[in-house]
Amino acid sequence: MKIGLIDVDSHNYPNLPLMKLSAWHKAKGDNVEWYSPITSGYCDIVYMSKVFSFSPDYPYSINADKIVRGGSGYAIKLVDGVEVYDKSADIDLPDGVEHIYPDYSLYPEMTKDTAYGFLTRGCPRGCNFCHVASKEGQCSVKVADLSKFWRGQKNIVLCDPNILACSEWKNLLQQLIDSKAYIDVNQGLDIRLMTVEKAEMIRKLKVKAVHFAWNRYEDKDIILPKFQMFKEVTGWGYRKMSVFVLVNFDTTFEQDLERVYTLRDIGYNPYVMIYDKEHTTGRDDVRKLQRWVNNRRIFRTVNTFEEYRTGELR
Ligand code: SF4
């Protein structure tokens, strides 16, 4: 069979479902290629995968017997300002495809000495600005061992939504430690679930940096002692620990500023994320806050937001 693949989001980040579909078809002896409306001609099946809802859909006609569309990008809709995941608009990969070793050759540059994958799926939190719980379930469950997608590469990019919530966290962290590879937990770690034992294991991971989130202002009393404890156990400095701060969702600007200042004071590096950035008309404040905080050099030299804003006006 002739199989065409379309990464609807562009080719800026490796698309795991397409890498797995490619590996599965190649193992069956099928011909797999990136689909091109000019050079591909007829295909038996074309798979289109879209991770981000804001990516425009594929604009060209497709010459194929069967077209399969999947990915969160097709299933997430904004309803009353909140992301809702519509399962009927997405497809699950069959088990045999989901657990296959990915075909990294689709993205040779980005996967050079780097493995990508999930050890767990799901998250118990159910934050209403996030679709993970409705897509993957409101429980973090182990879905693979590291050997499913890693074969000695120097770097591992872990896409798990909440590995610390999984009952098998200890075994999974040990697998990552034993790999001696550089680990990038790209969805971050849930600081609310941090314990001394977890922090001691994370300290043993080879990481360039870790990131957390302080999205809900009301978590303040739970997470600040956790941040203190994590810093004491690891001995790491702010260059190695960043914290996403979600703004433009349900916090006031004063609460946004408080989170930014507090994190800096306790030795972490805040990183401002704007919720629904495309629709921030009238929110110049959060855009300026993001520009100030996320430029580390400026953030570390201009002490307050007021000073930054005054400087910008000059
Ligand atoms: S903790 Fe993270 S992954 Fe879990 S629901 Fe909230 S934002 Fe999503």
Q: What is the pLDDT of residue 311?
A: 81
Q: Which atom of ligand 1 is nearest to the CA of 124?
A: 4
Q: What is the pLDDT of residue 177?
A: 98
Please check whether residue 197 lies inside any domain of the structure.
no
Please check whether residue 309 lies inside any domain of the structure.
no
**Ligand 1 centroid, distance to 91 Cα (angstroms):** 21
Worst-scoring range by mean pLDDT, 158-167, 208-217, 261-270, 279-288?
A: 279-288
Q: Are 205 and 236 in contact (CB under 8 A)?
A: no
Please check whether residue 169 lies inside any domain of the structure.
no
Please check whether residue 255 lies inside any domain of the structure.
no
**Ligand 1 centroid, distance to 136 Cα (angstroms):** 11
Structural domain boundaries enclosing 70: 1-105
More confident: 214 or 134: 214
* Residue 312 predicted with pLDDT over 80: no
Query: With b meaning 16 or more CB within 10 Å and e meaning fewer, what string describes 27-52?
Result: eeeeebeebeeeebeebebbbbbbbe
**Ligand 1 centroid, distance to 38 Cα (angstroms):** 41
Please check whether residue 84 lies inside any domain of the structure.
yes
Q: Is the pTM of this model over 0.85?
A: yes
Please check whether residue 148 lies inside any domain of the structure.
no
Helix (H) or strand (E) segment spanning residue 3 = strand 2-7
Q: Whose CA is nearest to atom 3 of ligand 1?
A: 161
Q: Are 269 and 297 in contact (CB under 8 A)?
A: no
Which of 132, 159, 193 maximizes ligand 1 atoms within 8 Å of its Cβ, making it the mutation to test the pocket?
132
- What tens digit of pLDDT does each residue of 283-301 get? 889 999 999 999 999 999 9
Instruction: Identify the residue whose tokens are 């409306």.
Output: 37
Please check whether residue 110 lies inside any domain of the structure.
no
Q: Which atom of ligand 1 is nearest to the CA of 131?
A: 8
Query: With b meaning 16 or more CB within 10 Å and e meaning fewer, what string describes 105-119?
Result: ebbeeebeebbbbbb
Worst-scoring range by mean pLDDT, 48-52, 190-194, 264-268?
A: 48-52
Q: How many domains does the chain fold into? A: 1
Please check whether residue 69 lies inside any domain of the structure.
yes
Ligand 1 pocket, residues with Cβ under 6 angstroms: 123, 125-127, 130, 132-133, 161-162, 190
